Structure 1
Amino acid sequence: MKVLVLGSGAGGGCPQWNCNCAMCAAARNGSRLIRARTQSSIAVSPDGQRWVLLNASPDIGQQLRLQPALQPQHGLRDTPIKAVVLMDAQVDHATGLLSLREGPPIELYVTPCVFEDLTTGLPILSVLEHYCGVRWHMLPVAGEQRVAEFVIDGFETLRFRAIAIPGKAPPYSPHRHDPKVGDNIALEITDRRSGKRLCYAPGLAAVGPSEFEWMQGADCLLVDGTFWTDDEMITAGLGSKRAADMGHLPQCSSDGRPGMMDALDGTRAGRKLLIHINNSNPILDDDGPERAELAHRGIEVAHDGMEISL
């Protein structure tokens, strides 16, 4: 199984177009070793020829132009992207679907909650019906059903499992303040030939016993790396919300609540990577003390263009 990290940043990427925080300013002037990052999305393939897109960020056009494996291979109009799976209905994960409108009908795999959000509060799917169209495949994660295995045509050697996780619905969702099962999912992909397992969860509000169970023993974890501390946005003067208010588990513990580093320390995962990194997060500095702390714990930070083979 091949994995391409198309984008590794949180909403806005880094540097964000209108932000002059310490990380964005340093990324622009080169005073610190900070790589530019687009908004998070990855692509997965069993053979390097056919690809499934996991989330479609607003930067998807730029991301595809930089990846030869995802560019047209046959004929005048072509794409090796055969399906899209969304983890949620957030702007930074879904609006890239509009940039795929020139192609064939989009084979889209989403939960009922995400489908509802993308046909009401953010009606992207309704708009796309006037262009390429969308073939919706329901991931039955809703109500009492918290886990669902599914298949994608043409990817029979990969086994997909959608898992409900704690998080927040987007601000335009009818249940923003009334969380539902299926607002947010993690995706587990197993290569049937090698047995290798990838777990992808760019938005994760907490790691409880059930989350720890699917994280345990994965060959590769790509999980929420949005914030270093819970009060990061407040301390930086960038907002009034804590990480927990936005549905993200920070790397550091806070008020006795374990952080993402604590959770990852307890897993037996082969590789542990953080993705969806906010432009305020000091782990963006490759040479900073926070990165040194992660390295000491065996935790990597994903970057745009990273390639992973499992």
Structure 2
Amino acid sequence: MTNKGGPKTIEGKLISSQNSLKHGLTAKRWLDHEEEGRYQDLINQLTEEHEPSGTLEHIQIERIANCKVRLERIQSIETAMFLQAQRRSEDPTQFVESWGFDMENDRLVVQEFGKELAGIYQTPIGLDDRDIVIEIACHNLCNINSMDDFRSEMPNLHEHLIGECIKRNTDIGEYIKAYRKGVDRLPSISNGSKERNYEDDKNNVLKNSNGKFSISDLHDYIEIKAEEFSMLQGLQKLKGEYFEQLELAKAAATPSNSDMAKIHKERVATDKQLSKAIGELLELQERRFKKERILKMSH
């Protein structure tokens, strides 16, 4: 009959757990062949160094090798978790959220920022022209109450709009109507003759556009261009900040507190098991050496 609470001696503890230990050391236990090979190498090295004798000392060698491989696994998992945290810190979505953008309401910002980082963001039509950009940045809708005002206040954007209508063979009203729906809804660029006279084409656009759009439509167009300019500025600023903060974010990136707690708990427990297994092996061997010395002396 065993004592209450289970076996107390080293021998008793080892014998009672031998079956479960062997089950835990089967190949199924390892994540891959590399781990299994590492375990076998450690057993060979420990066996050569400590020259175990008897089943119990061999079990302790196996315990030590098992704990060591599991500690190495824990280290690998922790390293992988830090790498994952670093990759998450590089996520443009997370970066944009840190600026206070809402993922649902500001979906366009997130999408365009992703395109900007990927180098596929398309500068809005006309905003690659510095003079147009200056006009948009300084415009005042209160001063624009007619097409003549538009030409006077924003001559470069005015010419750009006319030029777009010429290229797409449409009038100003239809162009603005399509532009409200998105650049992809604009009429395709016409493959007309390059010998066409610009002034004639310009006069034709103005003539054909007469009465087909209102000042409100023109204001809408200017405001859309202003919004595009604001988006462009914002994306460029975000991009600059993103790359400035990227290295700092990566350096500071850590796994979640719960993941870190799990790793710490597992490492501490395995460290204790390893220390205990080493201590018990040395104690078993010391007792064996002592018996051997006594036997030698008795002879």
Q: Normalising TM by the smaller chain, what interval?
A: under 0.3
Q: Which structure features the higher share of strand residues?
A: 1
The structure whose RCO (Cα within 8 Å, separation 6+) is larger is 2
Structure number, greater radius of gyration: 2
